Structure 1
Amino acid sequence: MTTTTRRKIAEQATAFLGEAYFELGKSEEDAKRRIQEVLEQIEQTGAYIHTYEELKHGAKMAWRNNNRCIGRLFWQTLEVFDARDVRDELGAAERIFNHMSYATNSGRIRPAITIFPASHSDNRLRIWNHQLVRYAGYRKENEIVGDSASLAFTDACQKLGWRGAGTRFDVLPLVIQLEGKAPKWFPLPQETVLEVPLSHPENSEFEQLKLQWYAVPFISDMALEIGGISYAAAPFNGWYMGTEIGARNLSDTDRYNQLPTVAKLFRFDTATNTSLWKDRALVELNAAVLHSFKKQGVSIVDHHTAAEQFLRFEKQELDHGRAVTGRWSWLIPPMSPATTGIWHRSFDDTERTPAYRYQAAPY
């Protein structure tokens, strides 16, 4: 490790610890003592080990700093599971399944993150999945069956020996790879995957479409960066905003492309754009998503409420002397954005740390 790299880690560690200890109500003496201890560790080893309290608060700060997340009002409720002691794939899988069960909570979803060994550790690992629960995508002769966003990962899973049933909604396995070893896959236990069949609050024929989605968005391919230390495996979850499912996953033409199907069911005129059939189908599909999740007792938020919550978050942060950063193009919902308060705002898109970072797929 170069002197420049050590210096950079030391600078990031000092900045994080100073901010975190202040927010945690620690004394200035405690902060200085801890910073000195960490600087000595970095000088000796090139890295340092977070205490659980630092890890916990750092993960929460990363959520608070996430410019692309509209749901940051609840950043302090994040449950942090420390899995830095994991040594093998089975142990990692068990921690993940425990996380999934805790977070799913029979539909009353709880935000959580499980943090695996740091990237500089000899027991570091990667999770191949983009999300812990995700539907497979299969290339057929003239069509794609399932989720086209999962085509590459589905191919990778099949090369590892996994076989799906070939339906539109096959749940992919969990794939874990320890550094220097071949990846291993594990089927997700049925009790860890809650799925919601979609129905419509007014149109009983909607169920004929046989649409569904999984209850919890577990993001599992991003790295968590805290004070110069990176954790390449740190799956986390909140709950869905309805438009993520209804206006993107099921509606995008390169995903499930269900707007023409929904329009046909509701007998909208698809011969001309001036009928606004896409807009009307989009509303009905999103109404079905919200109705179905609530019917099944599964946590979800509509985009109007989410936007109001974000503005409350901004006020809270300003009250604490912290300016809110954000990426406007991500904060506005993908449906009727001009009806939300966020539409009329602008935000500083500066990236702060701690943070969740994108990283290249390992397959």
Structure 2
Amino acid sequence: MEILQLRSTAAHVWTAAKEFIRLHHRENPEAGDPYDRLAVVWKEIEETGTYRHTPQELVHGARVAWRNSNRCIGRLYWNSLRVRDHRDLTGADDIAAQCAEHLREATNDGRVRPTITVFAPDTPDRPGPVIWNEQLIRYAGYGPEHGMQGDPRNRGFTEGVRRLGWPGGPGTPFDVLPLVVQGCDDKPRWFELPPDAVLEVPIEHPEGDHWRDLGLRWHAVPAISNMCLEIGGVRYSAAPFNGWYMGTEIGARNLGDTDRYNLLPTVARRLGLDTSSDRTLWKDRSLVELNRAVLHSFDRDGVTITDHHTESRRFLTHLDREEQKGRTVGADWSWIVPPISGSATPVFHRTYDTTESSPAYVQSPEAQARAQGTDLV
């Protein structure tokens, strides 16, 4: 039974590898005829059940995975993704150190650069390393016993990390969580992020001190760390990647959602709005002002950010470019349309092909449990 299963796995890897190698050579003519490379890959799969991507294949695969990300509106610059190749690293200490270095390089003194760091892949005889965090930088969420501070989304994860031994932060609404890294053949361990790896932006309104005393802030780099990079049948379980923020991700969702920081009532009170009825549109007005504050604050500090109107136009430019190259662009309407002023953006008034393509960034089945801190003991 095990032999049959291994043969079936190898056959799957070979099928995916053929598709990717041909794609890589088709889009990179300087790579030459794919026949010789396919022969090498076939021999490797036959002997080991998997194969190793060349550096050029890894770079192209990671970039195309971004190009194929149906939920991402910011794909216009997919071919500029910086790929950090650390496939030799399997231990938690080294991986945590390189995650911090990833953040330093991606932050780039505020001029944020799209970056991915790729660690050791899964193999037939050994799973690759795993980063438990949803993003490399997230804020802790404390339950009733600690005054209901921080980000409610991360309460389960925070409790799990504390069970691992993390003493907790100073107890502010914006305590940076440690990284939780599980190396190959190891248990999950926590690592504090060095302060110089985490750039944060204080959030202030452009027209007054409405909520300066609240101490609002957000981190500069949104680095997703719980998705797997799949290229041609090879899975990289630890491959954190980032672009830059669109303002609504912070102002409308992270700070505005009722199950996150839920700041709209606070903002409305500070602005003196009538909150007696939804018909006064106090929520809408607060949402706009909160998003203005985010954009203003990032611009003030010279930190890269985009707005939903600009990014919507850029996405249509991306669609045009891809169509000119004969490629279909998959997209999930519910993610592409911004969470505020949707119908005022051009991406609202379209339908999209939802077909998913490979290479791709995919959610692992265990990712949700990890984000909730399940099994962190």
Deviation at 1:122, TM superposition (A): 4.1
- Paired position in structure 2 for 1:203: 208
The answer to whether the Cα contact below 8 Å between 1:86 and 1:123 also exists between their aligned partners in 2 is no
> How many residues were matched structurally?
362
The answer to whether the Cα contact below 8 Å between 1:326 and 1:347 also exists between their aligned partners in 2 is yes
The answer to whether the Cα contact below 8 Å between 2:129 and 2:184 also exists between their aligned partners in 1 is yes
RMSD: 1.4
Q: What's the secondary structure of 2:87's corresponding residue?
A: coil
Deviation at 1:93, TM superposition (A): 1.6
Pick aligned residue for 2:286 from 278, 281, 288: 281
Q: Mind listing any 5+ residue stretches in structure 2 that lack a counterpart?
A: none
Cα distance between partner residues in 1 of 2:145 and 2:82? 45
Q: What's the secondary structure of 1:205's corresponding residue?
A: coil
Cα distance between partner residues in 1 of 2:185 and 2:283? 49
The answer to whether the Cα contact below 8 Å between 1:87 and 1:123 also exists between their aligned partners in 2 is no
Cα distance between partner residues in 2 of 1:126 and 1:194? 24
**Counterpart mapping for 1:66-215 below 5 A:** 66-120=69-123, 122=126, 124-141=128-145, 144-163=148-167, 164-215=169-220
- Paired position in structure 1 for 2:13: 9
Cα distance between partner residues in 2 of 1:88 and 1:329? 38
Q: What's the secondary structure of 1:293's corresponding residue?
A: helix
The answer to whether the Cα contact below 8 Å between 2:91 and 2:184 also exists between their aligned partners in 1 is no
Deviation at 1:150, TM superposition (A): 0.5
- Paired position in structure 1 for 2:311: 306
- Paired position in structure 1 for 2:67: 64
1:26-70 deviation line (CA, Å, top 9, x unaligned): 4652x1111121112111111000011000100000000000000
Cα distance between partner residues in 1 of 2:27 and 2:93? 36
Q: What's the secondary structure of 2:84's corresponding residue?
A: strand
Percent sequence identity over matched residues?
50
Over 3 Å off, 4+ runs: none
The answer to whether the Cα contact below 8 Å between 1:123 and 1:178 also exists between their aligned partners in 2 is no
- Paired position in structure 2 for 1:245: 250
Distance 1:232 1:16, change over 3 A: same
Q: What's the secondary structure of 1:157's corresponding residue?
A: helix
- Give yes or no for the alignment of 1:347 onto 2:321: no
Q: What's the secondary structure of 2:298's corresponding residue?
A: helix
Cα distance between partner residues in 2 of 1:278 and 1:223? 37
Deviation at 1:24, TM superposition (A): 1.1
Cα distance between partner residues in 1 of 2:32 and 2:136? 41
1:86-106 deviation line (CA, Å, top 9, x unaligned): 142221122111111100011
Deviation at 1:335, TM superposition (A): 0.4
Cα distance between partner residues in 1 of 2:69 and 2:13? 21
The answer to whether the Cα contact below 8 Å between 1:148 and 1:254 also exists between their aligned partners in 2 is yes
- Paired position in structure 2 for 1:49: 52
The answer to whether the Cα contact below 8 Å between 2:90 and 2:119 also exists between their aligned partners in 1 is no
- Paired position in structure 2 for 1:315: 320
Cα distance between partner residues in 1 of 2:44 and 2:260? 48
The answer to whether the Cα contact below 8 Å between 2:90 and 2:129 also exists between their aligned partners in 1 is no
Deviation at 1:206, TM superposition (A): 2.6
**Counterpart mapping for 1:210-229 below 5 A:** 210-229=215-234
Deviation at 1:123, TM superposition (A): 7.4
Q: What's the secondary structure of 1:357's corresponding residue?
A: strand
Q: What's the secondary structure of 2:103's corresponding residue?
A: helix
Q: Which amino acid aligns with 2:120?
A: P
Q: Which amino acid aligns with 1:67?
A: N
Length-normalised TM-score, structure 1:
0.97
Q: What's the secondary structure of 1:322's corresponding residue?
A: coil
- Paired position in structure 2 for 1:18: 22
Q: Mind listing any 5+ residue stretches in structure 1 that lack a counterpart?
A: none
Distance 1:181 1:314, change over 3 A: same
